[in-house]
Structures are given as structure tokens and as C-alpha cells.
Structure 1
Amino acid sequence: MSLVRDVKQLWHLPGFRRLTYARLLSQGGDGMFQVGIAAAFFFDPTTASTPEAIAAGFAVLLAPFTIVGPFVGPLIDRWQRQRILLIGNLVRLVLVLAICVALWMSWPLWSLYALALLALSVNRFLLAAMTAGLPRIVPADALLPANSVLPTLGTIAAAAGGAIGGIVTVVAPGASDVGLAFTALVSSAVAFGLASWSATLIGRTDLGPEHPLERLHMGAQIKALSRELGDGVRYLYARRTPFHALGVMSAQRLLYGLLFVASILISRHVLGDPDRPEQALGAFTIVVAFAAVGFGLAAVLTPTLGARMERRTWILVCLGVGALAQLILVVSDAPWALLLSAVIVSFAVQGAKIAVDTIVQRDTDDEYRGRAFTLYDMAYNVAFIGSAVLAGLTLPDSGYSRTIMGVVVVLYLCVAAIYAMSPRTARDVPAATPTP
């Protein structure tokens, strides 16, 4: 099996091995945290019962970080990325404990949103730092399998963490939504603490940046960050291939996000009972488990099939597979169709992501890589918010619309057609030295 072979080959690299420990623990905690947040925000019988309410929840949680997120990239190019992993997970631990207190004390909903927003923001910061640091510990010719293995192992860890929420629904079927959330959140806090400890196994400078940008006082730093972000955007646009790869990733995430929101609604109103949070959350956990299978298949097949063609061609193949997955939902709205579609569309999204990550890493100089992957995360958030807004405007309360699913099929094909016309090779761009 390609995945097993790739893991064995990469495992001999000490830096990759240590980064894997940190990522597994961090994303395992992510899975637990996401189940807790879902129980508190999207499966409470008194809240988020309509597409509009779910869209509002996504906007509140993601929009602020989308605004401040661009300033994170220059920080990843300015601070040692190993320290980001160490301190960032400690910050998340404190935030999760604060959320537990807020749930226990029945604090206002806005305070829960604020704390969850901060925790999610730090999470995107950590993922961007890990991705930006990967080329520092893996040879260039091993980036494709590394980009397949590491995110997939992280996805498996997140699925395992998320399964805790599903187990709770089985062993404690009478638990309230707050009880489900509390159990998952406490578990995530433990995982974040272990992830912070695992970051100490990585050398302080192992993840780069090799030449950190100059640290400045607050006023000058804000001004410099704005300028450096602009430099990053101009650089990616001039290089062409990473810019277009980010564009196709954003479009695919928007289409995937629409199905994700639909899955929440279908789990509440079709697969489960909206008045029984443990049943609805259990149904959604099953959907997520099937999606995890798709992510795993992408990790197994992408290094084998994707290596036999250009990264760009593999992305086009994945877009075609995504259209096929949506076509299944046009044909049928039965539970089997949703679960099968979840497997296939997750394969398509993850397979394309692996190729996009490799293109951005390969065609972006190290001094711009942190900014590139923070822009990546910003585009991810914008796409998810956009998908939630589209879902709120178009989906019925049940979450299923044959017409909408058909439109998504067409959009997948349109994105593939547009990306097929994008440049095949990166343009040489001299790296500019930022001035304070």
C-alpha cells in the first residue's frame, strides 16, 4: 500500500517524525473540539435549526479571523514556527477550559462564540505554521508523499477524536447537548496539552524560517505586516501557479462547504430527531466517519496516481470526481446516497488539496511561504463563509434540494474548465528583501 510505504520512508526523517507527533495530537484535539462546538452551537434544539441560523454561526466564528488572518502570515515568516506550535497549543488549552467554564456557568452565547472564535483562529495559525515548515524537514522530491501522509494522518487523528462524541451519544443517550459538549471539550484540552509538549521535541529552528523577518515595535510592526502581506499577494500572483492553485482550492472548498452545511441539516432533520441532540449528533458523526474514509483513500491513491501526472492534471481529475459525487445526490436523497457522496467528495477535496499544497510549497520561496499559507487559510475561511451564506439562501430546512445539487455539479465542471486554462509552469520572480 502506498500510504504505508510512504510512512515508512518518511519516518526515517527525525524532523518529519517529530512534526507528525505534534500534528496527530493537535488534530486529535481538533476532532474532539469540533464535536464539542457542534454539540453546543449546531445541535442544540433551541439554536441553529435552519440554514440561516447555521450560516450566521459560521459567519460569527470565521469572519473575524478572515479579517485578521492575513496578518498571521508575516508572523509565521517572522517567528520561529516551532515556538508557534508550542505556545499556540497552550493557548488553545486555556481557551477550551474557558469554554467549559462558560458552558458550566451558562454564560451568554456571545461569550461562547468569542472564545470558540479565538480557539479556531489559533488552530488555523498552527496548521499554517506546520505546512509552511514542512519543506524545511522533508526533501523536495518527497513533498508530494509528505503532503499526502501528514494531513491524512492528521485527518485520521481528528476522526478518532471526533469519534469520542459519537461514543458519548451511545453510552449516554440521555445526555444533554451541554453534557456532550463538555465531555468532548475536556478531552480536547488534554490533547492540546500533549501537543504542546510534543512540540518541545522539535528543534527550535528546525521548521524555519531560515532568515526571519525583522521584529519591530507595535506601530512599525503593524505597518510592516500590511506591506509584507501585499508583497506576498503580489509575489504569488507573479509566480502564477501557486496563485491559481489557491484559487481552485477556494472554489472547491466553497462547493464542499455547501454539502457540509447540508449534511448538518440532514443529520438534524432527516437522519436524526432535531429534539434529541444526541441522536442528531450521532447521525452527523456517522456522516463525518464516511467522509474520513474518503480522506484516507485520497492519501493512499494520490501519491500513486497523482505522481504519474502533473499536479495540475490531478487537480482536474479530482474536480471531475467531485462532480460525480454531487451527481449521486441529484439521483437520490436516500441516506446511502449522502454517505456515498461524503466518501467520494471528501476524496476529491483531499486529493486536490494534497496537490495544491505541493504546488504552493514547491513554487514559493521560504521567505514567502508563511504568508502564502496564511492566505491559503484566509481563502479557506472565506470559502466556508460563502458556502454557509449560499446554503442559508438556497437550501430548505431539511438540507436537501435536488436542484441545488445539480447546480453544484455544473459549478464543479466550470471550475475544472477555468483551471484547465491556467498556466502550467511558474514564472521566475526575484525574491525582494522587505524593508522595515
Structure 2
Amino acid sequence: MKLDSQPERAPVLRELRGLLRGTGFRQLLTVRLLSQFADGVFQIGLATYVVFAPEQETSPGDIAAAMAVLLLPYSLLGPFAGVLLDRWRRRQVLFYGNLLRCGLVAASCTLILGGAPDWLFYLSALLVTAVNRFILAGLSAALPRVVEREQLVVANSLSPTAGTLAATVGGGGAFLVQLLANSQGAQDTLALLLAAAIYLLAGFSALRMGRDQLGPDDDALAHDLRAALVTTGRGLLGGLRHLGQRRTAAGALAGVGMMRFSYGALLVTVLMLCRYSWDDGGDEGVALLGIAVGVSGAGFFVAAVLTPWLVTRLGQLGWYVCCALAASVLVPALGLSFQPAPMLVAAFVLGFVSQSAKIVTDTVVQSSVSDTFRGRVFALYDMLYNIAFVGAAGVAALILPSDGRSPALLCLVSLVYLLTAALIHRLRRAVSRETAPPRGTATSRETSTSREAATGDATAAS
């Protein structure tokens, strides 16, 4: 039966308006927007310092090494941070975490101006990234505390996507700020100072929410930090066991990890193309990188608008499968020319499908994981995200030539997207069998979608 799009679109818009009327949701969204805007500024400042500095002959291996230094240490410790997130008041994490990032970014500025060794700069950037993982996991774990359960799909469409768009705008702001300086060092410093100022605003904006508003519940709080650290290992195992009992959530996480791997490999490809193939010695490469970030952000925005509507038509996992399949076809179709125009179209498509898959994954995890374990599971989620990203950079370093043109890597990425589609399709069929009504019961597309939206509870009960 063909569904009328207008009646479906209207409830989504009503839910969106209802979300924005919620004071708690608006306050949490403000913290996210400011934090991720500053993230975008910081990341562009870091990228231009590492990749585009004239005195550095950057290779794919250099980019992979930088990603490993910045992401792997925290990735391996991420689940332990999740245990602390389930014991610390999340509003305080947002407040103190952003203040700490402000100080660390300011320290990075002094290192650039003072000509300090690169390892000191990387250490400072590593600490900023580590705190950032606390902030993002805390924001995701806190979201169900400010919205109703039935609003989670729309909330996950708006909130993380709006944060990603804020990061994109922040990256554009960094490019604009850098135009005010004459030297590379001064450009990077100005961008980092802007990031520090926005981190400070983000920290104080968290104080608009109540101390206990974002949880966790009082019975989950550990007043003795030493005791909390001693039980971290047990808590990690408990979080893994809890996730293991939620097959749909675990499968969605595996799929999003595979898509993140693909996205990371393509990001390194675009960086090398901008640095060497699309740059004639001026600022063309940096400009094209900025455009790529912008069109990818446009894809995130479109995903936020369309995903709730498409989920009502195809179901959460059905739309997930469509995203992975589309990417598997369009990556080689658009990328094998290695020309700027089709690659920019590919950046939009990948932004769209990646954010759509993340919206679905966030909703599945939040719906099927109890609040007591949610911080740990999102920290595991974060660890998977980072390891997949760094692994992709490592694989790209082994395959990519210095100019970034590698048909073999694009074909590998296309295959990973195809395998992701197969994995999620198999998971969807298993879930449909488990939640199928008794024989003879009438079903409809809307009923099937409703069952899939409640998959987390059905899986937990099984």
C-alpha cells in the first residue's frame, strides 16, 4: 500500500516543535551546539597545522599516525570512562569538561607560538580529544532524560545532526578566522583561540540545567571515587554483558562501526587529494577541503530532515540497509574519476547516509539499553567509532599513493558498505521473526514499523 507522505510528515513536524518547546531539551541542545561548534574550529585548526603546513611533506602514514596518537589511547580507555559517566552527574561532566578543554586549547596556542616540539602539541591535542569523548558520550547518555521515549527518533535526528552541522559551521568559521592572519602559525593560533572561547561558553551554558537533571539516578552515583575506580573493570564487563543481551543494539553498533571505517578511509583519500592532486601551490586544496566539509554537512542536515519520515515508511533497520546499499553503489560511481566535482557529490551522499545510520543506531541503543548502563554502552560505542576510524586511516596508509588516487581503496570501501547492508538486512529479518504476530493477525506497513521501533524492548525481553 502506498502511503501518503503528507500525513506522515505532519506528525514529524509536530514532534519536532514539541521537542523544541521542551526547556530541558533546548538547554542540552545549546550545550551540544556550542561544544561541537568549538570542536569544528579546533579540528580545522589541527588539520591545517598537521596537513597543510608548507614545511611538512604530509603522507597518508603521517595522517594515520596523527589519528592513532589522538584517538587510540582514549579509545582503549573509553569504556572505563563510561563507568565514570554512570557515576558522575552528567551536568557536571559537561561543565568541567568544557572548561578543561578551554584551558588545554589555550595551552596548544602557546605551544604553536613558542615553536615547541610537535610531540608536546600532540599531547595537548590528545587531552582535548580525550575530554571530547566524555562530552559526546555524556550528551548522548543524557538525551533520554530530557525527552520522552517516543520522541527519541526525532530527538536523535535533530540533536546529534545539529551538533554535526555546528561543527561544520565551526570549521568554516576557522577558515574565515585564518584569513585574518598572514602566517601559518598565526592562522592556526587564531583558530584555536576561537575554539577556546567557545568551549568556555559551552561550559557555562551547562549551568542552566539542574545539577541532577541529566542523571544518573541517585542509586547509581558513587560518592567514593576510589571505590568507583576499583569497580571499573566489573562495570565494564557488566556493560558488555548488558549489550550482549540486546542483539539489535549490538548489531546496529557493528554496522555503524563498518560505516565509520569506510568514512575514515575516504576522509584520508580526500585529504591527500586536496593536499597534492587538487592544489596548484596556492590555497586551492584548503578551499576544496572547506567545500567538502560544507557539502558533507549539508548531507547531515538532509539526513536529519528525512530520516524520521523514511523510518516511518521503511522501518529503522530497513532505512539503515538502504543507506549502506546506496553508499556501496555511489562510492565507486562518483569517486573513481578522482575529480573535485563528483567527489564533492560523494561527500554529500556519504554525509547523508552516515548520519542517517548514526541516527538509527543512537535510537536503537537508547531504546534498548537501561539508564544504569547507558553511559558504559555509549562509551563502548565511542571506542568502536574511534578504533574503526583509526583502522581505516591505517589501511589507507598502506594502500594510498601520495596523490590520493587509489581505485583499489574505493573498491574496498564499496565492499565494506555492501557487507554492512547484508549484516543489517540479516538482523532485520531475525528481529521480524522474533516480533511477528500470531498467524492470522492482520499486519500493515505501519504495524511493522512500530514493532521495529520497539525492537530494543523485545530483544531485552528475549
After TM superposition, the score normalised by the length of structure 1 is 0.93
Structure 2 Cα separation of the partners of residues 183 and 206 of structure 1: 36
Secondary structure of the equivalent of 2:405?
coil
State the match for 1:196 in structure 2. 203
Q: 1:330 to 1:287 in 2, by over 3 A?
A: closer
State the match for 1:293 in structure 2. 298
Equivalent residue letter for 1:401: S
Equivalent residue letter for 1:10: L
Secondary structure of the equivalent of 1:118?
helix
Alignment of 1:124-203 (within 5 A): 124-168=133-177, 170=179, 175-203=182-210
1:375 aligns with 2:380: yes
User: Does the CA contact (< 8 Å) of 1:272 and 1:279 recur in 2?
Assistant: yes
Q: Which moves more between the two structures, 219-228 or 296-305?
A: 219-228
Match of 2:400 among 386, 392, 395: 395
Deviations 1:162-215 (A, max 9, x none): 11232245555xx33322211111011111111011101111111111245352
Identity in percent: 38
Match of 2:332 among 327, 336, 341: 327
1:17 aligns with 2:22: no
Structure 2 Cα separation of the partners of residues 48 and 132 of structure 1: 41
CA shift at 1:47, angstroms? 3.2
Deviations 1:269-311 (A, max 9, x none): 12224x65x5432221111111111111101110111222321
Match of 1:339 among 332, 340, 344: 344
Q: Which runs of 4+ in 1 moved over 6 A?
A: 1-4
Q: 1:169 to 1:429 in 2, by over 3 A?
A: closer
Secondary structure of the equivalent of 1:285?
helix
User: Does the CA contact (< 8 Å) of 1:73 and 1:374 recur in 2?
Assistant: yes
CA shift at 1:20, angstroms? 1.1
Structure 2 Cα separation of the partners of residues 168 and 97 of structure 1: 16
Equivalent residue letter for 1:64: P
Structure 2 Cα separation of the partners of residues 101 and 170 of structure 1: 20
Cα RMSD of the aligned pairs, angstroms, is 1.9
Equivalent residue letter for 1:386: G
Secondary structure of the equivalent of 1:206?
coil
User: Does the CA contact (< 8 Å) of 1:169 and 1:282 recur in 2?
Assistant: no
State the match for 2:309 in structure 1. 304
State the match for 1:411 in structure 2. 416
State the match for 1:67 in structure 2. 76
Q: 1:241 to 1:351 in 2, by over 3 A?
A: same
Count of residue pairs brought into register by the alignment: 426
CA shift at 1:219, angstroms? 5.2
Deviations 1:394-431 (A, max 9, x none): 1111112123212221221112112222242446558x
Secondary structure of the equivalent of 1:421?
helix
1:108 aligns with 2:117: yes
Equivalent residue letter for 1:398: D
User: Does the CA contact (< 8 Å) of 2:248 and 2:459 recur in 1?
Assistant: no
Q: 1:306 to 1:91 in 2, by over 3 A?
A: same
CA shift at 1:217, angstroms? 5.0
CA shift at 1:45, angstroms? 2.7
Secondary structure of the equivalent of 2:245?
helix
User: Does the CA contact (< 8 Å) of 2:336 and 2:410 recur in 1?
Assistant: no
CA shift at 1:355, angstroms? 0.3
User: Does the CA contact (< 8 Å) of 1:96 and 1:119 recur in 2?
Assistant: yes
Q: Give structure 1 stretches of 5+ with no counterpart.
A: 431-436
CA shift at 1:328, angstroms? 2.5
CA shift at 1:10, angstroms? 0.9
User: Does the CA contact (< 8 Å) of 2:41 and 2:194 recur in 1?
Assistant: yes
Match of 1:89 among 89, 98, 103: 98
Equivalent residue letter for 1:233: L
User: Does the CA contact (< 8 Å) of 1:6 and 1:145 recur in 2?
Assistant: yes
Equivalent residue letter for 2:56: T
Secondary structure of the equivalent of 1:34?
helix
Equivalent residue letter for 1:230: L
Structure 1 Cα separation of the partners of residues 14 and 59 of structure 2: 45
User: Does the CA contact (< 8 Å) of 2:304 and 2:356 recur in 1?
Assistant: yes
Equivalent residue letter for 2:110: V
State the match for 2:235 in structure 1. 228
After TM superposition, the score normalised by the length of structure 2 is 0.88
Secondary structure of the equivalent of 1:106?
coil
Rg larger in structure: 2
Equivalent residue letter for 2:112: L
Deviations 1:18-40 (A, max 9, x none): 11111111111111111111111
Q: Give structure 2 stretches of 5+ with no counterpart.
A: 1-8, 432-454
CA shift at 1:329, angstroms? 3.3
